[in-house]
Structure 1
Amino acid sequence: MALIKSIKGLTPKWGKECYFSENATIVGEVTMGNECSIWFNAVVRGDVAPITMGNGVNVQDGACVHVTNTTGPTVIGNNVSIGHNATVHACTIKDGALIGMGATLLDKCVVGKGAVVAAGALVLQGTEIGEHEIWGGVPAKFIKKTRPDQAESFANHYIEYSKWYLEEDKKD
């Protein structure tokens, strides 16, 4: 079972058919919709401000989602994929976006609907990424527009994978 921890009277909440790996950590004021998944060694820490996730969000292995008490919450839309070892900090990610492996999103940045942040990219504080745009580099810059459904399709894979794990857990 994942480490699910309350802090200062704030306890994580989630919807139906969510999967949390055995060594995932979820702390504080975290609210998740249905079919979300938090994978191995991932941390979702809403200890000083809230983290809100829609339905079908996946936070992959080693990723960290956190907040800042002076700049506000982290808000994640529906069907968002946060790649392995990514850092998402006090920002907004809109529906269907894909955050690549090892990417870093700093405070107050906004990732638009269906956008892709490339692996290893650094999205600076306050940056606004438009809908269906691909950004990459250090610091991240616009590269090109996405293909239709390029980013959105990734979340569906993780919903399927999480069902495999939920089914396996029922056997134990």
Structure 2
Amino acid sequence: MKTFLRPFGAALLLSLAAACAHAQAEEVVRIGFINIDRLLREANPAKQGQSKLEAEFSKREKDLMEAGNQLKSASEKFEREAPTMAESQRAARQRQLAEQDRDFQRKRREFQEDLNARKNEELQQVIDKANRVIKQVAETEKYDAILQEAAYINPRLDITDKVIKALNAASPAK
């Protein structure tokens, strides 16, 4: 019985291998890769978002820097004059500087929180646009999968330039 199944098993194995090879020959899987970091640096919508953030937050940042410099100057002046001040005057000045420092730290923290929130909003808008364009490129060029992260990717699979070009065309520079 074993000798009878051996040729049958070999033939079955050969026909399965041939069928798999034929199926693979007919169905080519197209895979692309997107370097999302590069896209977020080079695409016009990302650059526009960065410019918008800079314009929106530059005045507050400048005011904050000025307040920090004033606090530093006041602190240095206090350090120089403290030895010649009366104890009550020195204590009052220390309280005033501590209060100014707390106020400055609070403003800096609020600034950073507001900036981070706006950065996340702008980033999400860019990612949403990019995802729409990636899907469009995938459908147009018949990709089966487009990856955004990989341990290694062959450069011939990188379609980042195509996506940046399509994203820039969809969002003209202002």
Q: What interval of TM-score do these two structures reach, taking the shorter chain for normalisation?
A: under 0.3
Q: Which has the higher contact order (CA 8 A, sep 6+)?
A: 2
Structure possessing the higher radius of gyration over alpha carbons: 2
Give the TM-score of the pair, scaled to structure 1: 0.27
The TM-score with structure 2 as length reference comes to 0.26
Q: Structure 1 or 2: larger strand share?
A: 1
